[in-house]
């Protein structure tokens, strides 16, 4: 009788150890998946920031902002310039504002991260908004 109880206790101990191992493995897999997701998002955010800064610099240097944006392959619709860049999108909205001795081109470059939900639905999350300003002096 005592041998049977020992084998039952040993079996329970083994089951507890297996359960603990399975629980630990599940938690570790989730942690590594979350770390991977965070790493991918960080890379996309860095890439989007560099693209937005390059776009803002091009706007600042351009004499004709619309032509410069067309050259960078942005599409215009209803006063908003858009560019799909894979994992993120850039949106530019702005226009010329008169000033006392010239004019300003004032606008914003916005970046949106494309997220996919488990149901396959897409929702864009705004990463940042980068203001752009270009002063044009009075024409002679």
In this predicted structure, what is the pLDDT of residue 24? 96
Tokens of residue 73, six digits: 């392959």
Sheet holding 80-84, edge to edge: 75-77, 80-84, 88-99, 102-116, 122-137
The mean pLDDT of 118-125, rounded to a whole number, is 72
**71 pLDDT exceeds 90?**
yes
pLDDT over 90, % of the chain:
56
In this predicted structure, what is the pLDDT of residue 6? 74
| Nearest to 72, CA basis, from 86, 92, 88, 87 | 92
The mean pLDDT of 27-43, rounded to a whole number, is 93
**108 pLDDT exceeds 70?**
yes
**Distance between CA atoms of residues 116 and 33, nearest Å:** 15
**1 pLDDT exceeds 60?**
no
**101 pLDDT exceeds 90?**
no
pTM for the full predicted model? 0.74
| Nearest to 92, CA basis, from 125, 34, 131, 43 | 131
- Domain edges within the chain: 2-137
In this predicted structure, what is the pLDDT of residue 29? 96
CB 89 within 8 A of CB 124: yes
In this predicted structure, what is the pLDDT of residue 48? 95
- Residues 17-56 as b/e (b if ≥16 CB within 10 A, e otherwise) read eeeeeeeeeeeeeeeeeeeeeeeebeebbeebbebbeebb
Whole-number mean pLDDT of the chain? 88
């Amino acid at each position: 009788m005592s041998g049977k109880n020992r084998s039952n206790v040993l079996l329970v101990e083994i089951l507890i150890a297996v359960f603990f191992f399975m629980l630990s493995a599940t938690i570790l897999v989730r942690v590594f998946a979350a770390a991977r997701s965070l790493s991918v998002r960080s890379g996309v955010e860095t890439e989007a920031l560099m693209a937005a800064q390059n776009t803002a610099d091009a706007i600042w240097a351009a004499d004709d902002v619309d032509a410069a944006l067309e050259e960078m392959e942005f599409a215009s619709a209803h006063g908003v310039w858009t560019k799909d860049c894979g994992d993120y999108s850039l949106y530019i909205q702005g226009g010329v504002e008169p000033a006392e001795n010239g004019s300003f081109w004032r606008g914003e470059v916005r970046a949106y991260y494309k997220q996919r939900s488990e149901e396959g639905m897409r929702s864009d999350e705004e990463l940042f908004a980068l203001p752009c300003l270009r002063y044009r002096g009075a024409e002679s």
